[in-house]
Homo-oligomer: A and B are copies of this chain.
Amino acid sequence: MLHPLASGDGPEPELMCIFGTGDLGRSLGLCLLQSGYRVVYGSRRPHSCGPLPEGAQVMTHEESARSAKMIFVCVHREHYEFLEKMAPQLERKVSPNPFCVFSRLVPKAAVVKGLNTLSTWALQNGLLAGRQVYLCGNNGEAKRDVAEMATKLGLTVVDKGSLSAAKEVEDFPLQLFPEWRMPLYVAFGLSAFFFLYLVIRDIIYAYVENDEDISYRIMISLANKITPVVSLIMLSLCYLPGAIAGFLQLYRGTKYRRFPNWLDRWMLCRKQLGLLALGFALLHAIYTLIIPARYSDRQRVISNVKKNTTTPLYFDNTSAWRTDSLYALGILGFFLFVLLGLTSLPSVGGTLSWREFSFVQSTLGYLTLFLSTAHCYIYAWDKFLRKSTYKWYTPPDSMLCLIVPSVTLVLKLVLVLPCVNRPLMRIRQGWERNRLKDEMGELKATNM
């Protein structure tokens, strides 16, 4: 008997066929056997194909395909030609996990794509439980069978429609953070710009004008200027597209026209922009906390003491208020930012109700942006007025980075004014300026 679990008195477990006895085939076979299926391997040389999982059989391709319900093709794409010859046997068989080629070669097989997102490594290490797989296929019944099988392996199945619609599923395992690409470019570009700007304004300026070598500042001081600046700009870039979209809807008087492509794409990468901003904020926090432990900072304290060793110490209450407010705003902003980040964890965000999620992402998000911007304004403080700030006639980085967040906050402020907010809300509920009001019973159910 084939069946390793023959002691059960239920119906015999289903037979799965795997073409290819390579690494992927072996791991997959083991997983299927552990989940109670019977497994038969199809091989062109069934008698010399190396060690296979215990309990599995090996046959020729033709034999193995005949009795099985599903056929997993775990063979390199280059060796697909043998499938063509087998077309009659494969007719009406379910075949999960094949590459595109397969469905062209054997048009009558019920092809279901999506398991290709699983790696040999995950299969070998029992890491399937809870992983998502996207299935697509033209044959509903076949898809249901594959979904059932995948569920038994502990996978979470998401139906992605027909084969034609699912080029993306195929490319999925080879993608490297596609939705992170744009935000990463932005982060990298901003960092590089501010790095160059600060090297020139701080290090080279000090060297040229004061003949001072403060190049050691690159490691921490400069990094601690770049990270907050990039973090604040990217955080406001998270909220700017939403504000722009609001104004666009107001201007157009309807919400039924698509946004321009650049705005659409911008809105889709808000989450990634925000998480990158959080990363930069975290770095900024650690860089700031390490300051008092630095050699240069300690020397500065000592030299401060030495400078005015005779005069009595003057305690400036304004300075105390200012630095403490600076830190307090920064800490609170960072704290809220961490909360925002936590709710973007799939397992946390998934438990929030709709209103909770929108409260966190919108209200808390704008509060974070406001606190961070205020933190930066207090840092810039009276630098606006001092002439020494404008080294070589350039504005300091703390001024440059205030532009985008200030604009975003002003736009948002305008949008929440009652006289602006009311028409916008009506538009968002489906009202259109240039059209007859829809008939009753038909109206937009935005808040359901």
Contact = CB atoms under 8 A, between A and B. Distances in A.
A356 B444 contact: no
A319 interface: yes
A395 interface: no
A317 B295 CA distance: 10
* Stoichiometry (number of copies): 3
Contacts of A75: 441-443, 445
Given A5-B165, A153-B159, 10 more contacts: A8-B138, A10-B138, A23-B444, A74-B448, A116-B448, A154-B159, A176-B356, A216-B321, A283-B335, A285-B286
A161 B448 contact: no
Contact of A23 (B156, B288, B316, B430): B430
Interface stretch (A228-236, A299-307, A385-393): A299-307
Given A21-B442, A76-B445, A448-B74, A34 B165 contact: yes
Interface stretch (A118-126, A193-201, A367-375, A400-408): A118-126
Contacts of A440: 44, 79, 82
A216 B331 contact: no
A162 B313 contact: no
A13 interface: yes
A283 B331 contact: yes
Nearest to A315: B299
B446 A321 contact: no
B34 A160 contact: yes
Interface size class of A (residues with CB under 8 A): 35 or more
Given A8-B162, A119-B358, A216-B324, A289 B293 contact: yes
A208 interface: no
A438 B50 CA distance: 10
A394 interface: no
B159 A219 contact: no
A190 interface: no
Contacts of A79: 440-443
Contacts of A384: none
A321 B217 CA distance: 8
Contact of A156 (B5, B7, B154, B219): B154
A280 to B, nearest CB: 10
Interface string A133-170: 00001111111000000011110111111111100000
Nearest to A152: B159
Most buried by B among A76, A82, A301, A440: A76
A117 B313 contact: no
